[in-house]
Amino acid sequence: MTFDDKMKPANDEPDQKSCGKKPKVRQVSDLLKQYQANLTQQDRILEGQMLAQQKAENTSQESKKELKGKIDTLTQKLNEKSKEQEELLQKNQNLQE
């Protein structure tokens, strides 16, 4: 081993490797941050979709209740009209006798 060899740092190679690793670590770190941001965005989108679906279901339930109420009212009116018509037919038959 020469004097020049002794003067060189013993860890020249590891320094070169660590210099190569630092950009990779930074790159991985950046990718992880981007991945986390994407997950957060997807989570917010999913949350929004779930809220929209819940709102649509609630609206649908309200519409069903309203329609049922209208159908019940119309059925009642139809029954009343049918009863009135039947009474009128009965009166008409009585008058014809």
Amino acid at 17: K
Residuewise pLDDT in 10s, the chain (97 residues): 555 555 555 544 444 555 567 888 999 999 999 999 999 999 999 999 999 999 999 999 999 999 999 999 999 999 999 999 999 999 999 988 7
pTM for the complete prediction?
0.54
Which pLDDT belongs to residue 76?
98
Cβ partners under 8 Å of residue 15, min gap 6: 9
Which pLDDT belongs to residue 12?
47
Domain residue ranges in the chain: 15-96
Cβ(9)–Cβ(15) below 8 Å: yes
